[in-house]
Amino acid sequence: MNNYLEKPPHVRDDWTIDQGWSNYTAEEHGTWDILYARLLEVLPNRAAPEFLEGLKALDLGRGGIPEFEKMSDELEVLTGWRVVAVPGLVPDEVFFEHLANRRFPAGNFIRKRDQLDYIQEPDVFHDVFGHVPMLTNPVFADYMEAYGKGGLRSLEHASLKNLASLYWYTVEFGLIRTDEGLRIYGAGIVSSTSESKFSLEDASPNRIGFDLERLMRTDYRIDDFQQTYFVIDSYDQLFRATVDTDFAPLYAKMNGKFDLKPADSLEGDEVISKGTQAYANHGGRFAA
Ligand code: PHE
Ligand code: FE
């Protein structure tokens, strides 16, 4: 999220652009197919059933980068959401405004072949493969709209950081408990083969039960695997806990700051697994 972006001239006032689907090269469509195939090897029995159902409902593996207009027509029938193309990151207010109106802004460019495993800025693969399947789930779809509305409100409280951590630890890096064990619903995880395995199977990270206030006090990693994952019991729990809580008093208390570091453990945590933090302590992605 960012406030200091300057709008390029070809970008509309709401920061949308044409996806330019006919401009993608065969190599770019092929990049989508490679990433898709790699993830389908790891996601069964790791991704949440709702995510896998969404992938199937929208047939995102039909080959190549999806055409946003067609995909949106199908998604809109299911939950009223559409996907709009943007050049990359957009200002916070614009981002929230889109979500509040059930439009998901997705970057239209795709990563290069030498960035298959890691890119810093979200591309069309992360945005569409990662985020759009969950938008087919009615409760999650409502949560995303509520988040957008909450975001617009948070701008009056200068508490964006705390609200951003809610997005981070749920929409991007959330895990959910199922009868078959923990499953992934966060877009940042499901769009990464390595973090899909790490988040569920590695001994390093903490996995702790969702607690709204605790979560919003916690800083997060933007350049490496998370040191803590928060686990929800259901999308309903997430929706109710956030929509039924007035964030204004929380914002006042937290004052736009994090008092907890990504790996901190707290007395009151519902610990699902206590991480060794070995991965992060050995330098993480940057380890020799
Ligand atoms: N209830 C939050 C508020 O009072 C709004 C919100 C809902 C934020 C859902 C995030 C997710 O601001
Ligand atoms: Fe994302």
Average pLDDT, the chain: 96
Cα 184 to averaged position of ligand 1 atoms, centre (Å): 23
Predicted local distance difference test score (pLDDT) of residue 198: 98
Predicted local distance difference test score (pLDDT) of residue 158: 79
- pLDDT tens for each residue of 221-247: 999 999 999 999 999 999 999 999 999
The pLDDT-based confidence of 3 (bands split at 50, 70, 90) is low
Residue whose CA is at the smallest distance from ligand 1 atom 11: 147
147 Cβ inside 6 Å of ligand 1: yes
Which of 149, 152, 236 to mutate for ligand 1's pocket (most ligand atoms within 8 Å of CB)? 149
The pLDDT-based confidence of 157 (bands split at 50, 70, 90) is confident
- pLDDT tens for each residue of 115-150: 998 888 899 999 999 999 999 999 999 999 999 999
Cα 267 to averaged position of ligand 2 atoms, centre (Å): 31
d(CA 43, CA 186): 12
pTM of the complete model beyond 0.95 = yes
Cα 95 to averaged position of ligand 2 atoms, centre (Å): 12
In degrees and rounded to multiples of 5, residue 271 shows phi and psi of -80, 120
Q: In the chain, pLDDT over 70 holds for what percent of residues?
A: 98
The pLDDT-based confidence of 171 (bands split at 50, 70, 90) is very high
Cα 242 to averaged position of ligand 1 atoms, centre (Å): 5
Region 95-121: mean pLDDT is 95
